[in-house]
Amino acid sequence: MSCELCGSKSEELHLVIFSGSRVLACPSCVRKYGLVVIRRAGEPRKKPIARQARQQRSVKPLSPEYDVVEDYGLIIKGAREARGLTQEDLARLVGVKLSYIRKVEQGKMVPELPVLRKLEKLLSVKLVEEAEPREEKVIYSSGGEDSITLGDLLGRDEQ
């Protein structure tokens, strides 16, 4: 296997965190960049300590065909205030909790598509638009002598 930072072949690789990502690095890159080793490559993971799971509602993203308009929170808040509704009133009319409306208006949460449709109808605003077709770009292909490493991308190719 080869080091994902410098590209050198090494039998001894370590799983490390480099610029916020988990990568495999050789011992010389670990020393050179002062990286923290999570574990050696190939070692089994340690069994995690059992923790009490938090009850958290997962928000499903919109389908690939739809996007939410920019500044949706401000649009909702402006339309709500223009109609003289409080956040509590809007939450009751839409059938969601007050905290949900607060997070949506602050832009901290993207509502699910059915909720967006209800808000559009109640407030007479446009919140959902058809998504433009997205092209997938391949920026890295693994393997081969000419493969790109993270070190190449960051300009750290000296050894």
Domain ranges of the chain: 1-43+146-159, 66-130
47 pLDDT more than 60: yes
**pLDDT bucket at 156, cuts 50 / 70 / 90:** low
pTM: 0.46
CATH topology of domain 66-130: 434 Repressor (Amino-terminal Domain) (1.10.260)
SS3 127: coil
Tell me: the pLDDT tens digits for 93-137? 999 999 999 999 998 888 888 899 999 999 999 988 877 665 655
SS3 content of the chain, % helix, strand, coil (to 5): 30, 15, 55
Other CB atoms within a 10 A radius of the CB of residue 13 amount to 21
Tell me: the pLDDT tens digits for 69-97? 888 899 999 999 999 999 999 999 999 99
How many whole angstroms separate alpha carbon 60 and alpha carbon 138?
A: 26
How many whole angstroms separate alpha carbon 4 and alpha carbon 106?
A: 40
